[in-house]
Amino acid sequence: MRVFFNKETHLAFEKFKEIIDTKELIEGSKKHAEYLALQNQINPHFLYNTLEGIRSEALIEGIDSIANMTEALATFFRYTISNVDKLVNLEAEINNVKNYYKIQQFRFGDKLELNMEFEVKDYEEILQWKIPKLTLQPIFENAIFHGVERKIGKGILTLKVSATSQRLIVIISDNGVGMEEERVKKLNQKLRGATLEYMKEDGGEKGIALLNVNNRIKLIFGDEYGIYIYSKIGAGTDVEITLPFIKD
């Protein structure tokens, strides 16, 4: 016996399938987050106390470079470990990027440079707009290890913040080795919608990566927001992050 579906039944079936797929996506994201939390489980107080102990010993011995390094690490871990699932203001995310840059300078020295540009009318107000925690730093991490670290000469990282009447736009640029056109195309295809692909590749080995950040943005705000990549071999990479204006 054949069963025929009219247009309304077909649309209802497609809607139901979409709901099921979305539920599976959210559940999969939750399980992966729980896995990462267990994998990276650490006693924060033990970590902070250990780093503070190293810093104190370094100050006593007059080794300021080690003291500064451990202080930067303690600040970075304190921000990263606590309340990852919340929204924070843009200022907190930028401060975390500055601290991360300070840590990387111990490795790269003068080879690494960080610039910040704000093309906005009200600088102080923009800094208070909310974005998902750990949105910016993972992309800077990608820019360093997949872009500027592989090039000869000085690596320049740039954070550019601009805004429209309804959106916050953040562009993170590097002058690194860049990517092939086909690689950029494939990445942007994956970034079009919320996906669990980040569990299989970039994010799995390199921590909270570009696909993971994009996934969190889309699950929170919707598919019209997220990440888009522009890149050419030898010309560096631009990662554009589009977010809604949220103050509270």
CATH of the domain at 248: 3.30.565.10
Whether 125 is in a domain gets the answer yes
For the segment 143-157, the average pLDDT, to the nearest whole number, is 89
pLDDT at position 30 is 61
Tell me which of 91 and 54 has the higher pLDDT. 91
Whether 56 is in a domain gets the answer no
Structural domains in the chain (count): 1
For the segment 31-45, the average pLDDT, to the nearest whole number, is 54
pLDDT at position 54 is 80
Banded model confidence at residue 44, pLDDT cuts 50, 70, 90: low
Whether 69 is in a domain gets the answer no
Tell me which of 153 and 199 has the higher pLDDT. 153
Q: What is the 3-state secondary structure (H, E, C) of 34-95?
A: HHHHHHCCCCHHHHHHHHHHHHHHHHHHCCHHHHHHHHHHHHHHHHHHCCCCCEEEHHHHHH
Whether 246 is in a domain gets the answer yes
Q: Which residues form the domain of 129?
A: 86-248
Whether 73 is in a domain gets the answer no
Whether 21 is in a domain gets the answer no
Please name the helix (run of DSSP H) or strand (run of DSSP E) that holds residue 238, with its range, or none.
strand 237-244
Whether 26 is in a domain gets the answer no
Whether 98 is in a domain gets the answer yes
Distance in angstroms (rounded) separating the CA atoms of residues 209 and 112? 21
- Sorted by sequence, the CB contacts under 8 Å of residue 141 that are 6+ apart come out as 100, 206, 207
pTM of the predicted model as reported, rounded to 2 decimal places: 0.75
